[in-house]
Amino acid sequence: MSDPDPDDRTLAARALAGQQSAYSALMRRHRDAVYRLARGHVGDGDEALDITQEAFVAAFAALARYDGARPFRVWIARITLNKCRDWARRRAVRRFFLFARPIDDALAIADPDATPEDALHAQRERARINGAIAALPANLKDVLLLRTVEAMSQAETAHILGLTEKAVETRLYRARAKLTEILRDQSAARV
């Protein structure tokens, strides 16, 4: 009898044995978190979709190196951050030759009780916050996204980033302070 809801380690082992449906199950289980992490890192939904796909392709290619004793979500988050860094390097090269593309507006989330003006204001605020997060230095952005958006523990975040838990705590504090500063400066500039 097969397990109706196998854990990630079991799915990874089955995928390595050639069972495509097992890897599909891993992707379904983790794709939203990978997308959110990429979206928060790059600030662009279309680019985040590309990074999500690249992360899962890379994970599949490296699946034999996955340590089943560790959480799959930590492993795939590390791969995703590496793909985000690759994206940032490619973007820096493109920026050298062309003007950088502006950050796309955040995806609209329908609120049936909101007026069109409220919805527009909320969409602009989300875009402003996503842009501010994307503008953070990578060392601060990574910690902020893993701890707040992905709700990973301090220990998981430290493991993914190769830091001490104290360094994670310090960087999270600095990230929040820098984000507050960026948003405050943007608000002051609009007045």
pLDDT at residue 162 greater than cutoff 60: yes
Instruction: Delimit the domains of the chain by residue range.
Output: 1-104
CA distance 137 to 85: 11
Kindly report the pTM of this predicted structure: 0.60
- Cα 51 to Cα 40, 73, 75, 175, 188, distances in angstroms: 12, 16, 15, 23, 34
pLDDT at residue 122 greater than cutoff 90: no
More confident residue, 123 or 142: 142
Residue 45 confidence class, pLDDT cut points 50, 70, 90: confident
Residue 1 confidence class, pLDDT cut points 50, 70, 90: very low
Neighbours of 54 (CB within 10 A): 19
Domain 1-104 has CATH 1.10.1740.10: yes
